[in-house]
Amino acid sequence: MAAPAIDLIRVKELVAKCLEARKMAYCPYSQFPVGAAILTADGAIITGCNVENASYGLTVCAERTAIQRAVVEGHRSFTAIAVTCDIKDHFVGPCGACRQVLMEFGGQWVVYLTKPDGSYRETSLEELLPLPFSPRHLGKD
């Protein structure tokens, strides 16, 4: 099934919110701020940034911070995510762990890979995580 089309105004809003969220990143070790903004099925936008830790492995990516925040706020149905970092010369995708965590909430995500200047490339979770392992395989659909 193809991912749903999203109103351009909403896309721009989502992109602007992920750029804002990047400014909140707590990344003293990597100095690599990342911002994410999730569009929920009911039209809310929930943001996240990476939160690092002196015990490096405890770091949480921006995408997963946003997902966890969204779930706490009662959202489980999602439409899109915009993600940004400081890399200017090409579009950067979420790490593998984040792709898997997005898949937990369905394969229909639209993903906007966003550069710091606000330009973006649209892709999808389907494209970023082909042949996924998902809740379906555990009979949880």
Ligand X SMILES: O=c1ccn([C@H]2C[C@H](O)[C@@H](CO)O2)c(=O)[nH]1
Q: Which is nearer to ligand X, 7 or 26 (CB)?
A: 26
Nearer to ligand X, 15 or 62 (CB): 62
Identify whether 63 is a catalytic site residue: yes
Which residues sit opposite 120 in a β-bridge? 114
Among residues 20, 52, 63, 104, the one annotated as catalytic is 63
Pick what 27 binds: ligand X, Zn ion, none; C-beta below 5 to 8 Å, kind-dependent. Answer: ligand X
What sign for the dihedral angle of Cα 126, 128, 130, 136? negative
Residue 34 binds which entry of ligand X, Zn ion, none, with Cβ cut-offs from 5 to 8 Å by kind? ligand X
Looking at the Cβ atoms of 44 and 97, the one nearer to Zn ion is 97
CB of 25 to Zn ion, least distance (A): 13
DSSP letters for the chain: -PPPP--HHHHHHHHHHHHHHHTT-B-TTT----EEEEEETTS-EEEEE-B--SSGGG-B-HHHHHHHHHHHTT---EEEEEEE-S--SS--PPPHHHHHHHHTT-S--EEEEE-TTS-EEEEEHHHHS-S---GGGGT--
Under the binding rule (CB under 5 A), the answer on residue 11 touching Zn ion is no
When CB distances are held under 5 to 8 angstroms depending on the partner's kind, the choice from Zn ion, ligand X, none that residue 44 binds is none
Q: Is 98 in the site for Zn ion (CB under 5 A)?
A: yes
Interface ranges with Zn ion (CB under 5 A): 61, 95, 97-98
Catalytic sites, residue numbers: 63
